[in-house]
Amino acid sequence: MLNLASDNVVGASKPVLEALIAANDGAENSYGSDQFSTRAEEMLAEIFEHEVKVFLVSTGTGANALALSALSPPWGAIFCHEESHVIDDECGAPEMFTDGAKLVGIAGVAGKITPEALERTLTRYPKGVIKAVQPAALSISQVTEAGTLYSLDEIAALGATAKKHGIFYHLDGARFGNALVSLGCTAAEMTWKSGVNVVSFGATKNGCLACEAVIFFDPKQAETFAFRRKRSGHTVSKGRLLGAQMVGYLEGNHWIDNARHANAMAQKLANGLATTPGAHLPWPTEANEVFVILPAKVHTALAKADIKAAPWASLSLPPNIHVREGEAFWRFVTSFATRTEDIDHVIGVAHGA
Amino acid sequence: MLNLASDNVVGASKPVLEALIAANDGAENSYGSDQFSTRAEEMLAEIFEHEVKVFLVSTGTGANALALSALSPPWGAIFCHEESHVIDDECGAPEMFTDGAKLVGIAGVAGKITPEALERTLTRYPKGVIKAVQPAALSISQVTEAGTLYSLDEIAALGATAKKHGIFYHLDGARFGNALVSLGCTAAEMTWKSGVNVVSFGATKNGCLACEAVIFFDPKQAETFAFRRKRSGHTVSKGRLLGAQMVGYLEGNHWIDNARHANAMAQKLANGLATTPGAHLPWPTEANEVFVILPAKVHTALAKADIKAAPWASLSLPPNIHVREGEAFWRFVTSFATRTEDIDHVIGVAHGA
Amino acid sequence: MLNLASDNVVGASKPVLEALIAANDGAENSYGSDQFSTRAEEMLAEIFEHEVKVFLVSTGTGANALALSALSPPWGAIFCHEESHVIDDECGAPEMFTDGAKLVGIAGVAGKITPEALERTLTRYPKGVIKAVQPAALSISQVTEAGTLYSLDEIAALGATAKKHGIFYHLDGARFGNALVSLGCTAAEMTWKSGVNVVSFGATKNGCLACEAVIFFDPKQAETFAFRRKRSGHTVSKGRLLGAQMVGYLEGNHWIDNARHANAMAQKLANGLATTPGAHLPWPTEANEVFVILPAKVHTALAKADIKAAPWASLSLPPNIHVREGEAFWRFVTSFATRTEDIDHVIGVAHGA
Amino acid sequence: MLNLASDNVVGASKPVLEALIAANDGAENSYGSDQFSTRAEEMLAEIFEHEVKVFLVSTGTGANALALSALSPPWGAIFCHEESHVIDDECGAPEMFTDGAKLVGIAGVAGKITPEALERTLTRYPKGVIKAVQPAALSISQVTEAGTLYSLDEIAALGATAKKHGIFYHLDGARFGNALVSLGCTAAEMTWKSGVNVVSFGATKNGCLACEAVIFFDPKQAETFAFRRKRSGHTVSKGRLLGAQMVGYLEGNHWIDNARHANAMAQKLANGLATTPGAHLPWPTEANEVFVILPAKVHTALAKADIKAAPWASLSLPPNIHVREGEAFWRFVTSFATRTEDIDHVIGVAHGA
């Protein structure tokens, strides 16, 4: 079986696992005061070219929900794409961690929201009107749920809108590395230079076993975070588990290499699927995810060949694209572990169908 | 430096780390559907000699708070020792996860509560009286916060009281293995045979890096748990991380061996400290923790020798024992990684002071 | 000044106030065990022709949020119109009381949702998929936020859809009386005979000072409600305040008379505004609210005459209706206290503009 | 039947009811913007001789829980007497409104806590230690649950302790008026001059039907309160209901007269019961509550005479006082409506037993 349903079906990449092994011996302070967690924070400060407060946790849902809880009161409105991970795929974690804030979904093609749509939505949540939940934060996903990317200009434009309205700006970077290498920009440009206040810096999907960093650029916004993390059970006692993974992940640009490889595999797959008769890709492949609508005989052939992808559905298809009777809408995700021959195999089966 | 401040200052034991490494290659289903998590559940069913529903998480606070949230409504009262971990050391996690249940602390010497004290406390929370939070659950720690153990009879007597009052019974087994080998009983006897409904089965302190199991003996009580775990961000995507650790921990009775070693080290240390002039141990050493009140020159000597223990304080000291001016109350914790020579060293320094 | 901005700008109707005065003397049991609250429950059982559990509270937001909290777990999805009161006008109360359930807004013209739209939305929240919040309840407003009514068939069709999907059905009846007299049906037909499980039975807007009843038709669904009401501070100690209002409201069909009067005043106003040059009503006037888009000179004239209405905005305007530059979209609400001469005055000013 | 079980078994006092009636006609802005609520705030500013932010609500539980929610984060510790109303009688409302703060009960005779006991308790909640909930607020009841009073010096001493530790200070004044007339001080002296930050100013028990004011002396602390009140369903739409009651209550010192009368009745009852053979009063009668331990024949005689009081139990009895076999511990509460002949009757029955 070839499993391309997600980038979380594989284990850790070699350098990450080795870092974990190397960190295992000896005594370390617990609860995040270990040398590895400390080193990870330093490395991230260098990478982001900014003072940072870093909190490591073991899941993306934990990272996002905790980050948002630091940005919104219980009566806050958090604006996000109507199909974002925070609104659709976390079983209400942001609501739990914020004690009931409202996630307001905004429609938009290709998983992206525009400043205009955000502006329009904001008019429904006037500041100071007591009966309405109050604008608190904007949260975008980079890479989006459609596998697409916001350009730097788009991120900055949304940041300007957020700033104008006095709301915080969170970036869900579950696939931060994949986005970064694809845009070819710096981590600083993709975040604080574009107005982002807090980042969920994902490492699990791109090489770690379980490690995500919540990164604040303003220590004031992070003041309550240690309590929030502890109280939600996300402060790992043997903190080296997280610290060592993150150090191994960042060291020697390993994370960049992993992301570049995954993206290249996705691009190769996209090219192969695009030329499959009857198949069409609703969105450009801009990171490590390929979304494709497949004709019946192709998805049957792939299934028969034991190639696993994720069945998909979306509200943000381009207006002219539809999934017709008999067709299947699938998502393929590549990772650091995807091999060229895997992709060749998928394309071969698809083309031979 | 010799760090005996806690059993979470060390890494993973060798077989656990090896299991983790061995599980790293290849694709696995995510979110706990991997073969290792499945195997862990089977192994725990065998160990507990009972049908079980097992949910792996990465922290003890997460395990306890999630377990309690399945047992108490927001207007419930959860009875526990006044110095238990759930009430004192989790920054309000049980309150967060239960959406506001009240943890009612009960006093008791040596970290233990008695059925009589529980009965007395229950009279203050009459069932059906709307203004009072409603009795929902009893939670005990085995090993207790004083390093002591409930006997099987004591566990069962509390279980009978809980059952009589129609409340659930949770056992916080952060040091489950250490308790088990010390009592010399079966896991079944220490839990469901004594009336316990749900166990936080700790593995982190006794050999894992980050792995705890919430174990239900009645699947009905576990019905909402998968949603609770996901919604709190405690469903690790690469579930093999947790599954593999647990399998490595349980396999070949490795956890029993680890616990036995840690307990032996603690016993040896307790004996050595008990014969240190001026030192006195407030409670018997029944697992892998040694609590000791040390005279000034001894704790100074230990500190000078860079031997680290945890400064302590307790409400549940025996009535005749006090920490006097100049004395220091310390907790030493041994683990699978503690060496005989470490203990000899501590005793040597203490005796030589 | 003539204030028609809402039906909550007036006080109590005469019989309600008299009932309150009559109930003031003597001792009564507190916390809802008074004779008036008991009598109110009996009267509502007769009116609804069904066994009922009734809980009186002082606000509509309290009634709705409490009702929904009895129907949805924290990880539940509550489906409602995208501009319903529960989603837009209660500052997140349902989220607070449900401990974080997600209110899923569904679009629909004239403030109404259709079974088809509900079905379509439900496909996005598959039962048993752990990452998705779980379908828990449908909540409709009768009268809707657009002042329109669901027909009995429409209520029943939504009820059938809710039942098919195993979700509860809540009716926000802030203007229950106005809806009832307009449909000319029984309270039973508008609720449990059409599949409704729980009703927020509003009395404040239609003659009380502050009194709403949460009505359950199945006592099992009400089992936790007394705790929920107390814990949210909604159990009034001198319960006669609520009980007496409700008795005075229901006695001798007073509530029906009030609603009939308010509706007639609204109908008269609608007719007068509909014939005002340049004015157009986006929705039919089916209860006691008139929504109208007014040309500049008319709304200026009304404002000058010190006639107060509520500026409005809506996502559920019919596709062909827009508010153009210079026009104003206003809501007028009539009540038991509105006089024929008030309406004549408004129409006179509008026509004379 | 003569019901002295509580001061909430009676209706409104005459001036309050008349104020309510007088306020009923005409249109008023809703949601607390009515002229009466505005006037109530002005009157309270005069009474407290300080700028105030006033929020009217309909229940004491609502007032207390909302007040505390403005003073404590979810990971906060709120210190109060172990038998205070907020910890024992509100079904967990403070936990719900604070999203899970921990109410830490402190023992103390006669319902009172001392600065020393508070200091001692604070050592268990060190600031900045992440695993511990963080000291947030002190909440005292004046009148206490034992019917006793803190002296001004005692209030100020606790205030100094609170200030020293950087925590807020809340006063639950459900019987504020009774305390004030008994101490013979000003409202300012009993509150902000003694360090109190926020007051639950009860009016229901002393003459209103349902009206409590949350009073802030620092507008900054009140900044989020309007959202909190709305979101908890405690913003009454026809705000005149609350505003008019409060105005009627305060006007012409009516509240003072009511409190003075109730206290005098209690004093008279206390004197009569104290001289009843076999009866003893555990605490002095300092406001409008009389607590008494009655011999069997007396409580039987009172019950036979259909005189109703509340059966009581307490952890804060003086060390030398116990309720013995056959005795009954009762609480009698007097109010503005208690008549001299009622008290004579009770004493007559008691003495004749």
Given pLDDT bands bounded at 50, 70 and 90, which one contains residue C110? very high
| Residues in B touching D91 (Cβ below 8 Å) | 75, 130-133
Total H helices, total E strands in chain D: 14, 12
Q: What is the largest CA-CA distance in chain B?
A: 62
D79 within 8 A of D104, measured Cβ to Cβ = yes
Mean pLDDT to the nearest integer, A172-196:
98
SS3 assignment, position C150: coil
Nearest to D75 among A73, A74, A227 (CB): A227
Contact (CB<8Å) B31/C130: yes
- CATH number of the domain encompassing residue B296: 3.90.1150.10
Nearest CA among D345, D67, D45, D48 for reference residue D224: D67
Q: Residue C276 corresponds to which amino acid?
A: T
Mean pLDDT to the nearest integer, D50-55:
98
| Residues in C touching A127 (Cβ below 8 Å) | none
- CATH number of the domain encompassing residue D190: 3.40.640.10
Domain membership of residue B227 as a residue range: 14-253
Neighbours of chain D (3+ CB pairs under 8 A): A, B, C
- Residue D279 region, left (φ>0) first, then alpha (ψ -120 to 50), else beta? beta
D36 within 8 A of D186, measured Cβ to Cβ = no
Of all residues in chain D, the percent with pLDDT exceeding 90 is 99
Dig out the tokens for D1 from the structure: 């039947």
Q: Tell whether the model's pLDDT for residue A326 goes beyond 90.
A: yes
Task: Calculate how close chain C gets to B208, using CA atoms only, in Å.
Answer: 27
Give the span between the Cα atoms of D3 and D332, in whole angstroms.
Answer: 9
Instruction: Indicate the length of chain A as a whole number.
Output: 353
Q: State the best of B78, B133, B232 to mutate against chain D, taking most chain D CBs within 10 Å.
A: B133
Give the span between the Cα atoms of C290 and C284, in whole angstroms.
Answer: 8
A180 and A107 within one domain: yes
Q: Phi, psi at residue B135, to the nearest 5°?
A: -55, 125
Dig out the tokens for B309 from the structure: 């223990």
Among B236, B253, B270, residue at a domain's last position: B253
> What is the pLDDT at residue C132?
97
pLDDT digit string (tens) for A95-141?
999 999 999 999 999 999 999 999 999 999 999 999 999 999 999 99
Nearest CA among D82, D78, D5 for reference residue D316: D82
Nearest CA among C3, C1, C7, C2 for reference residue C289: C7
A157 and A136 within one domain: yes
> What is the pLDDT at residue C161?
98
**Which residues 250-309 in chain B show a CB within 8 A of chain C?**
none
Dig out the tokens for C175 from the structure: 């203007």
Nearest CA among A350, A318, A352 for reference residue A108: A318
Q: Tell whether the model's pLDDT for residue A316 goes beyond 90.
A: no
Give the span between the Cα atoms of C34 and C244, in whole angstroms.
Answer: 9
A287 and A199 within one domain: no
**Which residues 3-32 in chain C show a CB within 8 A of chain B?**
31
Q: Is C59 on the interface with D (CB under 8 A)?
A: yes
Q: Phi, psi at residue A277, to the nearest 5°?
A: -55, 130
| Residues in A touching C75 (Cβ below 8 Å) | 91-92
Asked if the bond preceding C143 is cis, omega within 30° of 0, the reply is yes
Q: Is D91 on the interface with B (CB under 8 A)?
A: yes
Dig out the tokens for A10 from the structure: 């594989």
Ranges of H-type helices in chain D = 14-22, 35-48, 60-69, 85-88, 93-97, 115-122, 152-164, 176-183, 187-190, 225-231, 240-250, 254-274, 296-304, 340-352
| Residues in D touching B132 (Cβ below 8 Å) | 88-89, 91
Contact (CB<8Å) D232/C93: yes
Nearest to A131 among C74, C91, C99 (CB): C91
Contact (CB<8Å) C100/A99: yes
Mean pLDDT to the nearest integer, B289-296:
97
Across B312-321, C78-87, C179-188, D18-27, least confident range = B312-321
Give the span between the Cα atoms of C133 and C140, in whole angstroms.
Answer: 20
Dig out the tokens for B153 from the structure: 């009879």
Q: State the best of C95, C96, C231, C236 to mutate against chain B, taking most chain B CBs within 10 Å.
A: C231
> What is the pLDDT at residue D58?
98
Distances (CA, A) of D238 to B286, C50, C135, C211, D145: 65, 31, 34, 10, 33
Q: Is A209 on the interface with B (CB under 8 A)?
A: yes
> What is the pLDDT at residue A126?
96
B209 and B70 within one domain: yes
pLDDT digit string (tens) for A248-303?
999 999 999 999 999 999 999 999 999 999 999 999 999 999 999 999 999 999 99
> What is the pLDDT at residue C55?
98
Give the span between the Cα atoms of D13 and D15, in whole angstroms.
Answer: 6
C197 within 8 A of C216, measured Cβ to Cβ = yes
A347 and A242 within one domain: no
Mean pLDDT to the nearest integer, C198-203:
98
Contact (CB<8Å) A231/D73: no
Contact (CB<8Å) A92/C103: no
Dig out the tokens for A227 from the structure: 């309590």
Q: Phi, psi at residue C285, to the nearest 5°?
A: -90, 105
SS3 assignment, position C139: strand
Q: State the best of D82, D102, D123, D316 to mutate against chain B, taking most chain B CBs within 10 Å.
A: D102
Mean pLDDT to the nearest integer, B24-33:
95
D140 within 8 A of D113, measured Cβ to Cβ = yes
| Residues in B touching D99 (Cβ below 8 Å) | 96, 100
Contact (CB<8Å) D60/C237: yes
Contact (CB<8Å) B241/A210: yes
B35 within 8 A of B243, measured Cβ to Cβ = yes
Q: Residue B229 corresponds to which amino acid?
A: R
The single residue listed with the structure tokens 């996000």 is A80
Given pLDDT bands bounded at 50, 70 and 90, which one contains residue B161? very high
pLDDT digit string (tens) for B79-103?
999 999 999 999 999 999 999 999 9
Give the span between the Cα atoms of A31 and B5, in whole angstroms.
Answer: 13
B180 within 8 A of B259, measured Cβ to Cβ = yes
Nearest to D130 among B91, B99, B133 (CB): B91
> What is the pLDDT at residue A90?
98
Q: Tell whether the model's pLDDT for residue A336 goes beyond 90.
A: yes
Q: Is B209 on the interface with A (CB under 8 A)?
A: yes
Dihedral over alpha carbons B191, B194, B197, B199 (to 10 degrees): -20
Q: Is D131 on the interface with A (CB under 8 A)?
A: yes
| Residues in D touching C25 (Cβ below 8 Å) | 11
C289 within 8 A of C147, measured Cβ to Cβ = yes
* Beta-sheet pairing, C168-173 with C198-202: parallel
Contact (CB<8Å) B228/C75: yes
C225 and C137 within one domain: yes
Q: Tell whether the model's pLDDT for residue A148 goes beyond 90.
A: yes
- Residue B279 region, left (φ>0) first, then alpha (ψ -120 to 50), else beta? beta
| Residues in D touching B103 (Cβ below 8 Å) | 102
> What is the pLDDT at residue A86?
98
Q: Phi, psi at residue C149, to the nearest 5°?
A: -125, 145
CA C235 to chain centroid, in Å, comes to 21
Mean pLDDT to the nearest integer, C142-149:
98
Q: Tell whether the model's pLDDT for residue D316 goes beyond 90.
A: no
C30 within 8 A of C238, measured Cβ to Cβ = yes
Nearest CA among B98, B63, B54, B53 for reference residue B78: B98
Task: Calculate how close chain C gets to A87, using CA atoms only, in Å.
Answer: 9
Into how many domains does chain D fold? Answer: 2
Give the span between the Cα atoms of D60 and D52, in whole angstroms.
Answer: 19
Across A307-311, C239-243, C315-319, least confident range = C315-319
SS3 assignment, position A19: helix
B189 and B74 within one domain: yes
Give the span between the Cα atoms of C259 and C191, in whole angstroms.
Answer: 18
B62 and B205 within one domain: yes
> What is the pLDDT at residue B316?
87
Give me the sheet containing D76-81, strands edge to edge.
D53-57, D212-216, D198-202, D168-173, D134-141, D76-81, D102-106
Neighbours of chain C (3+ CB pairs under 8 A): A, B, D
Q: Following DSSP, what letter does each residue of A44-110 receive, concatenated?
A: HHHHHTS--EEEEES-HHHHHHHHHHTT--TTEEEEEETT-HHHHSSTTHHHHHTTSPEEEEE--GG
Among B253, B270, B302, residue at a domain's last position: B253
Contact (CB<8Å) D227/A130: yes
Average pLDDT, chain D: 97
SS3 assignment, position B140: strand
Give the span between the Cα atoms of C187 and A58, in whole angstroms.
Answer: 53
Nearest to D93 among C28, C65, C233 (CB): C233
pLDDT digit string (tens) for D162-211?
999 999 999 999 999 999 999 999 999 999 999 999 999 999 999 999 99
D79 within 8 A of D137, measured Cβ to Cβ = yes
pLDDT digit string (tens) for A17-64?
999 999 999 999 999 999 999 999 999 999 999 999 999 999 999 999
B324 and B216 within one domain: no
Mean pLDDT to the nearest integer, D136-165:
98
B209 and B114 within one domain: yes
Distances (CA, A) of B222 to B67, B165, D207: 9, 21, 50
Give the span between the Cα atoms of C135 and C128, in whole angstroms.
Answer: 10
Nearest CA among C142, C153, C145, C147 for reference residue C180: C142
Give the span between the Cα atoms of B239 and A10, in whole angstroms.
Answer: 10
Among A252, A279, A306, residue at a domain's last position: A252
Task: Calculate how close chain C gets to A121, using CA atoms only, in Å.
Answer: 11
pLDDT digit string (tens) for D239-259?
999 999 999 999 999 999 999
ipTM of the complex: 0.97
B123 and B259 within one domain: no
Q: Is C58 on the interface with D (CB under 8 A)?
A: yes
Average pLDDT, chain B: 97
pLDDT digit string (tens) for B198-212?
999 999 999 999 999
Give the span between the Cα atoms of A40 and A205, in whole angstroms.
Answer: 18
B200 and B259 within one domain: no
Mean pLDDT to the nearest integer, A146-168:
98
Contact (CB<8Å) A100/C100: yes
